[in-house]
A and B are shown apart, each in its own frame.
Chain A
Amino acid sequence: MALAVAERVSFTYPGAAEPALRDVSVRLSPGQVTLILGRSGSGKSTLLRAFAGLIPHFHGGRFSGHVDVAGLDTRRHGPPGLAGTVAMLFQDPEDQVVFTRVLNEVAFGLENVGTPPRAIEARATSALAAVGAEHLADRLVAELSGGELQRVCVAATLALEPRLLLLDEPTSQLDPEAAEALVELAVGLARERGTAVMLSEQRPALPLELCDRVLFLEDGCLAFDGPVAEARIWLEERHPVFVSAGGDGGVRLNPEGDVVVRMDEVSFAYEDQLLVLDGVGLEVRRGEVVALVGPNGSGKTTLAKLAAGLLEPQSGNVDRVGRATYLSQDPGRYVFRERADEEVAVGVGGDLAVAGRALAAVGLAGYEHRHPRDLSSGERERLGLAAVLAPDPDLLVLDEPTRGVDPQRKHELARLLGDEPKRATLVVTHDLAFASQVADRVVSLAPERELVGV
């Protein structure tokens, strides 16, 4: 018997011209792990929100069809009423934190659903332990790394012991090991407790190994719904990049190019005195794409900022030739203008023609007049990329450029980055498939903060 049912659900966001979901019907069974795939803006997050009751209750808009979770019709029971039965983890962990201390954050949902006071702390601690974060219980949320924060948010979701667990790109900020642990945890919940798990992913390789069933959304329509084995065949035929393991993205090694940035014996510590980098060396040549990988907290972002000149090392030398641009993690958060082309033109003295070409290069031609905040997270990511490509830099530094970006766009991004022989490119990423696809060299920054493979 199905735990949750969506029948002929269509939904249009307020002010949107096109529906985000069109006549979608899905049944979710207890103990089943369902993976939702699709390109950016295809309706994956919207479908998850429909099962959480956030659509239509929180977002408004035009809704038709009906969603039923554990006998509760979401049209009559809003998100607070469904909480506990349903739990949802959102894409951006920074935007879902309510409290300042980790334990209190995890306890928040338990308090809201009326858990007996004496049981709250034990359940919150147990949920933290389940994600390997019990040592963070007394830490301030603001002090956590992105990966640690993601684990805390997962714990806050698990603490509710929901019957339906909705995970919206839960591994986007996690290194491969942590991502694997999280997906295995979700699968374990399904197998041991009978929780129905539904997750959307832009790094589908691992979930495809472990899930039971795959949904594929195209322009809000359910294009495929079936078991994994059938899904693999269907994806191979229709969307091969979703089952590709990375590999050659058309990039050619260019070891003969001159050195654009060279870092020798570089050390860096933030104000808290923790030594993030200690005697690290790295060079990137013109025409070369270098991927910097490593676990959460290993200092990848710090090294990238040092390369781009946004930070100065405490010791050691950074020699750079020409102009460097840097795309931060989650660039969609930092928007300056009210039109996409003006946003991109910020770095080129307002030259809208250059901005238009940069937008076209990242697949956003025709978006010139759109408000950046109206774009989807993947589109915003590409807008940020256009903004740092527009100045035609000698050194391009990208920090997690594939967060929220679908496999098709990743493939296009890999081609775009490898297409410029005059530029040196340094890419920080957790996405090993993308790293192998885009990079001439993959450099791993180990936890002990030494470069181990060049």
Chain B
Amino acid sequence: MRPVPAAVLLFGLAAAALLAAHTVSVAVLAAVLLAVCLRAPGKRRWPYLVGALGSAAVLFVVTPFVEQLPGVVYWSGPTIPVVGTLDVTSTELSGALFNACRLAAVSLAFAAYALWLDHDRLVQAAGFARRSVLAVALATRLVPALERDAAGLVEALRGRGVEPEGLRGRARLVSPLLAGSLERSLNLAEAMEARGFGRPGATRMVQPPWGPLDRLAVAGAVLAIVAGALWL
């Protein structure tokens, strides 16, 4: 399948997850997208999976404490100024589960996009807003680039005989990681300018035409959005 229809299909599934009204429907969509992500190579997939599932888990845990909805009270805690009484009710829990599944589905759709799609072809297929599409593709590649830089930083520290241990040790790498990333982006921008990026009249390498599978993917995306809005 070509990357543009694949991206449209993933967008359709994410949109369906946002439009759907039932937790089970959203959970099924999230499970399908999780299965797609799990087929990616282990080393590449873990940052995306940790990000997607971790943020969903945090949302599930935090939501009942910040919402004030009636229902069967499972736990009641202290009263905090401004926030009110901390409690966990059945309605809050089901709402938290629903939102967590939604967030997981959308994040996993992005993860599948980042892990499986050929971003080069996505950029080359862009008939308009090529600069924006390229910016998105470069941003998508930031995760693996940061991962490589983090590994390099750890290796540089170990090379000096220092083992970065624990959360605090790793947290100290964030600042040099970001500074290095900014420096890299400047170098890349300079190299892109030198190769004519931004010059009017840019062309594109010839792209092969769409096949039946590509058309099916776009139809599937439309169907997913309609189903999400009407039935799921």
- Residues of chain B with a CB closer than 8 A to A336's CB: 153, 156-157, 172-173, 176
B46 contacts A by Cβ under 8 Å: no
Q: Is the C-beta of A113 less than 8 angstroms from some C-beta in chain B?
A: yes
> Considering only CB atoms, which chain B residue lies closest to A79 in the complex?
B193
Indicate with 1 or 0, residue by residue over A383-400, a CB within 8 angstroms of chain B CB atoms.
Answer: 010011001010001000
Which of A79, A384, A388: most chain B CB closer than 10 A?
A79
A115 within 8 A of B: yes
Which of the residues B144, B173, B194, B205 comes within 8 Å of A54, measured between beta carbons?
B194
Q: Which of A100, A112, A324, A391 contacts B196 (CB 8 A)?
A: A112
Q: Is the CB of B190 within 8 A of A325?
A: no
Chain B hits for A97, CB < 8 A = 188
Evaluate whether A310 and B184 lie within 8 angstroms (CB atoms) in the complex, with A78-B193, A335-B176 already known: no
> B206's closest neighbor in chain A, by CB?
A117
Q: How far, in whole Å, are A57 and B179 apart by their CA atoms in the complex?
A: 23
Given the known interface contacts A83-B195, A84-B196, A373-B183, the answer about A100 and B120 at a Cβ–Cβ threshold of 8 Å is yes
* B122-144, CB < 8 A from A: 123-124, 134, 138, 141, 144
Q: Which residues of A contact B202 (CB under 8 A)?
A: 111-114
Given A100-B120, A142-B144, A335-B179: A95 and B195 interface contact (C-beta under 8 Å): no
Q: Which of A113, A328, A347 is close to B152, meaning CB atoms less than 8 Å apart?
A: A328
Closest partner residue, chain A, to B156 (CB atom):
A334
Q: Is B81 an interface residue (CB 8 A)?
A: no
A325 touches B138 (CB 8 A): no
Residue of B nearest to A349 (CB): B162
Query: In whole angstroms, what is the CA distance A432 to B196 when docked?
Result: 36
Q: How many residues of A contact B (CB 8 A)?
A: 64
Quick one: CB contact mask for A326-337 with B, threshold 8 Å, 1 for yes? 111001011110
A117 near B193 (CB under 8 angstroms)?
A: no
Pair B201/A114 contact, Cβ less than 8 Å: yes
Question: Is B168 engaged at the interface, CB distance under 8 Å to the other chain?
Answer: no
Q: A142-B144, A388-B160 are in contact. Are A112 and B191 (CB under 8 A)?
A: no
Q: How far is the CB of B15 from chain A (nearest CB, A)?
A: 26
Contact partner of B204 (CB less than 8 A), chosen from A92, A113, A117, is A117
A99 touches B191 (CB 8 A): no
Hey, which chain A residues are within 8 Å of B118, CB to CB?
Answer: 100-101
Chain B, interface residues (CB within 8 Å), range: 35 or more
Residues on A with beta carbons closer than 8 Å to the beta carbon of B183: 373
Bound-state Cα–Cα, A300 to B37, Å: 35
Contacts of A434 in B (CB 8 A): none
| Minimal beta-carbon separation of B35 from chain A (angstroms) | 23
> A90-114 vs B: 1/0 string, CB under 8 Å?
1010011111110010011111111
Bound-complex Cα distance A326 to B156 (A): 8
Q: Does B160 lie within 8 Å of A387, measured CB to CB?
A: yes
Question: Shortest CB–CB separation between residue A313 and chain B, in angstroms?
Answer: 17
- Of the candidates A57, A104, A325, A333, the one whose C-beta lies within 8 Å of that of B160 is A325
Q: Which residues of B contact A324 (CB under 8 A)?
A: 161
Bound-state CA distance A367–B162 (Å) is 23
B206 near A95: Cβ-Cβ < 8 Å: no
Given contacts A327-B159, A334-B180, contact A111 B191 (CB under 8 A): no
B138, B159, B193, B201, most chain A CB atoms within 10 A: B159
Complex Cα–Cα for A124 and B202 (A):
16
A52 within 8 A of B: yes
Q: Is the CB of B193 within 8 A of A326?
A: no
How far apart sit A323 and B192, CA to CA, in the bound complex (Å)?
43
Q: Is the CB of A83 within 8 A of B119?
A: no
Pairwise interchain contact A310-B156, C-beta atoms closer than 8 A: no
A20 within 8 A of B: no
Please state if A54 and B138 are interface contacts (CB–CB under 8 Å): no
Q: Is the CB of B203 within 8 A of A83?
A: no
A108 CA to B138 CA in the complex, in Å?
14
Residue of A nearest to B185 (CB): A95
Q: Are A109's CB and B195's CB within 8 A?
A: yes
B190–chain A nearest beta-carbon distance, Å: 5
Most chain B C-beta atoms within 10 Å of own C-beta, residue among A99, A116, A156, A328: A99
Chain B 181-225 per-residue mask, 1 if CB under 8 angstroms from chain A, else 0? 001100111111111111101111110000000000000000000
Contact of B205 among A57, A121, A388 (CB under 8 A): A121
- Give A310 to B193 CA distance when docked, in angstroms: 38
The answer to whether A325 touches B198 (Cβ under 8 A) is no
Tell me whether B205 and A323 are in contact (CB under 8 A).
Answer: no
* A80 contacts chain B at the CB level, 8 A cutoff: yes
Pair A331/B194 contact, Cβ less than 8 Å: no
Would you call B176 and A334 a contact (CB within 8 A)?
yes
Asked whether A335 lies within 8 Å of B180 as measured between CB atoms, the reply is yes
Q: Which of A78, A101, A336, A373 has the most CB of B within 10 A?
A: A336
Nearest residue (CB) in A for B140 is: A100
Q: Is the CB of A114 within 8 A of B203?
A: yes
B170 within 8 A of A: no
- Is there contact, CB below 8 Å, between A108 and B155? no
B194's contact among A52, A107, A110, A325, by CB below 8 Å, is which? A52
* Residue B158 is within 8 A (CB to CB) of chain A in the complex: yes
B144 proximity list for chain A (CB < 8 A): 142
- Closest-by-CB residue of A relative to B153 is A334
Nearest residue in A to B43 (C-beta to C-beta)? Answer: A271
B184 cross-chain contacts in A, Cβ below 8 A: 95
What residue of chain A has the Cβ atom nearest to residue B172's Cβ? A336
In the complex the two chains form, is A120's CB within 8 Å of B206's CB?
Answer: yes
- Residue among B160, B183, B187, B202 facing the most chain A CB atoms (10 A cut-off): B160
A24 to B: closest C-beta gap in Å: 20
User: What are 11 A-B contacts with C-beta separation under 8 Å?
Assistant: A79-B196, A80-B197, A83-B199, A104-B121, A112-B196, A114-B199, A120-B203, A121-B205, A324-B161, A333-B180, A334-B152
Query: Across chains A and B, which 10 residue pairs bring their CB atoms closest together, nearest first?
Result: A83-B196, A347-B160, A112-B196, A96-B191, A326-B159, A95-B187, A334-B156, A80-B199, A109-B195, A104-B120
Known: A57-B193, A110-B203, A328-B159. 17 other contacts (CB 8 A): A54-B194, A58-B189, A78-B193, A86-B194, A87-B194, A90-B187, A95-B184, A96-B187, A96-B191, A98-B197, A112-B199, A114-B201, A117-B204, A117-B206, A328-B156, A334-B176, A336-B172
